[in-house]
Amino acid sequence: MQFEKQDVWKRASRLACDTYKAIANCKDFGFKDQVTRSALSIPSNIAEGVERETLNDESRFLYYVKSSAGELVTQLYIGIEIGFIDKEHGLKLISEAKEVAAMIAALIKRRKGFVKEQEPDYDIGSS
C-alpha cells in the first residue's frame, strides 16, 4: 500500500494515537467521540486518497484531511480551556496537527497543477 510509505500518514497516525491517549480518561463521551473522530479522520483520509485511482480523487481527500486537522486543532484548544486536556500536552498536539496540515497543504499545492478545478459559472447578467 502506497500510503504507508508517506511521512505525513505516519505522523498523522501518531497524532491520532497521541490524541486518543490524551483524552482516554475523559468522561464527556460526546467530546471524546468528536475529538477521536477528527483525529482518526486525518490518517484515514490520507490513506483513502492515496489509494484512489485519480489525482482528482486524491486531492479531494486531501482537502478533507486539511479540514479535519482544523477541526482537531479547534477541539484541542477547547479541551485545554475546559480542563479536559493538559495544557502542555495539548499545545504539543496542536503544534503537530498544524505541521501535518502544512504538509497536506503542500501536497495539495503540488497536485493543483494536475487537477483541473471547475470554474464557477455565475450568470450575473448586465445592469
Please indicate, yes or no, if residue 118 is contained in any of the structural domains: no
Whether residue 19 is contained in a domain is answered as: yes
Number of folded domains that form the chain = 1
Q: Is-above-0.75 flag for pTM?
A: yes
Residue 13 has pLDDT above 90, yes or no: yes
pLDDT, tens only, 38-94: 999 999 999 999 898 888 888 889 999 999 999 999 999 999 999 999 999 999 999
The verdict on residue 29 lying in a domain is yes
Task: Decide if 49 is inside a domain.
Answer: yes
Residue 10 lies in a domain: yes
pLDDT of residue 114: 54
* pLDDT number for residue 118: 58
Residue range(s) defining the domain that contains residue 77: 3-112
In a domain, 63, yes or no: yes
Residue 8 covered by a domain: yes
* Mean pLDDT to the nearest integer, 23-28: 95
**CA gap 119, 127 in Å, rounded:** 23
Give me the CATH number covering residue 15.
1.20.1440.60
What's the pLDDT score for residue 57? 85
Residue 123 domain-assigned (yes or no) = no
